[in-house]
Amino acid sequence: MLMPEPQTGHDRGTADPDRNTALAAALDRLSLEGAIFFRSEFTECWAYRSLTPEGMAETLHPGARRLIIFHIVAAGRCWVSPHGGERRWADRGDVIVLPYGDQHEMGGLQEAEVVPIETLFEPPPWDSLPIVRHGEGGDRTDIVCGYLHSGDPLFDPGLRAFPPVFVVRPPEGPMAQWVRSSIDYAVAVSENSLPTGSIPTQLPELLLVEAVRLHLASAPAADNGWIAAIRDPVLAPALAQLHARPGHKWTVAELASSAAVSRSLLDERFRKVLGRSPIRYLTDWRMHLATGLLATTDHGVAVIARRVGYDAEEAFSRAFKRATGSSPGTWRAAKTAVAREL
């Protein structure tokens, strides 16, 4: 399969091909190993719980501590919830990524009993791509599932550079067409019971890289120093703290203490590598998280404001409008309208 020209943009937004040259170069150098491992046909009502990260790694890639898990929604609509947390919704053509392979639950539009995923298929090794069929015979949701393994710091669960789960909708154009073609190919492989060894390993690798590229396009300083920052001995521990607790009322002094450096050194590194102060980066990171929550959850604006560190909805709305040019409600309505048109 031919790789589409790299595109960037918000998780459910439009592409901007002029951004993220450094990010694209860094992602192109990622070392990944992966495979598409099964296709699922779920019918309402349905829900399942995945294996633990350790159990998933032992089952699919012995020797790995954790895997990166992704799901492509080929048809229908579903939700995913890591750690029993909030539900993120995904529609046809969306790519769901669990960058640390966290245990999670998935389900459809109606409430259903949650069953362990391992009860729905025979354990590997598989001679051909397995098909999981589960549900009560109602409306159908098709999902293509895959995994990857990487030792890159980008996927270090200690740093938590990503949320536990994120949903990416490729913008219309070559990328979306390529994802659809990849889904069709995976479905064809499973329907024809072709040997698992006939599936090109590059397919899940390319899908994951493009999903990460799209997600990070709206991350603070993604277009210059973000990848370098998570490898920086001064910045990495500070970023780990900010990413793990974005709602905390951080001060530069507290952040510097957590990273075991002076305030002046921390501020200097943030400005030199990321082009902004620590507190400005925190604000921008909160807005990055907020756009994801607005796009993929049903939470009200007040709930999202509290999740990303704002006690008052009004203060959050002002900060969001400064960052995006729209109020949270207007931004969500526009994204919803675009999603319905696709």
pLDDT digits (tens, 9 = 90+) for 203-258: 777 788 888 888 877 777 766 677 778 888 899 889 989 988 999 999 999 999 98
The one-letter code for the residue type at 166 is F
Q: Which residue has the higher pLDDT, 100 or 195?
A: 100
Q: What is the pLDDT of residue 229?
A: 85
pLDDT, tens digit, for every residue of 36-55? 777 899 999 999 999 999 98
Dist CA 232 CA 292 (whole Å):
26
What was the pLDDT predicted at 20?
44
Return the pLDDT at 12: 40
pLDDT value of residue 193: 55
Query: Taking the domain 226-341, which CATH number applies?
Result: 1.10.10.60
Which of 22-31, 55-64, 307-316 has the highest mean predicted lDDT (pLDDT)? 307-316
Ranges in the chain annotated CATH 2.60.120.10? 21-216
Per the CB < 8 A criterion, the answer to whether 37 and 144 are in contact is: no
**C-alpha closest to that of 13 among 286, 332, 328, 241:** 332
pLDDT at 13 over 70: no
Distance of CA 14 to the CA centre of its chain: 17
Average pLDDT over all residues of the chain: 82
Can you say whether the dihedral through the CA atoms of 269, 271, 277, 282 is positive or negative?
negative
| pLDDT of the residue at 195 | 54
Three-state DSSP class for residue 220: coil
Q: For residue 334, is pLDDT > 90? A: no
pLDDT at 260 over 80: yes
Ranges for all domains in the chain classified under CATH 1.10.10.60:
226-341
pLDDT at 134: 95
Edge-first strand order for the sheet with 166-168 is 131-135, 33-43, 140-149, 68-75, 95-98, 166-168
Of residues 81 and 157, more confidently modeled:
81
- Position 6 scores a pLDDT of 30
Q: Indicate the pLDDT class of residue 14, thresholds 50, 70 and 90.
A: very low
> How far from each other are the two terminal CA atoms of the chain, in whole angstroms?
23
67-76, 88-97, 136-145, 182-191: least confident range: 182-191
pTM summary value: 0.79
Q: Which of 36, 121, 34 is nearest to 74 (CA)?
A: 36
More confidently predicted of 209 and 5: 209
Strands 115-116 and 47-49: parallel
Q: Classify domain 21-216 at the CATH topology level.
A: Jelly Rolls (2.60.120)
Which of 25-29, 96-100, 258-262, 328-332 has the weakest average pLDDT?
25-29
Of 204-213, 302-311, 316-325, which range is least confident? 204-213
* H-helix or E-strand spanning residue 96: strand 95-98
- The 10s digit of each residue's pLDDT in 87-143 is 999 998 888 999 999 999 999 999 999 999 989 988 777 776 778 999 999 999 999
* Phi-psi group of 221: left, alpha or beta (phi > 0 → left; psi -120 to 50 → alpha; rest → beta): left
Predicted confidence at residue 192, as pLDDT, reads 61
Contact between 12 and 188 (Cβ < 8 Å): no
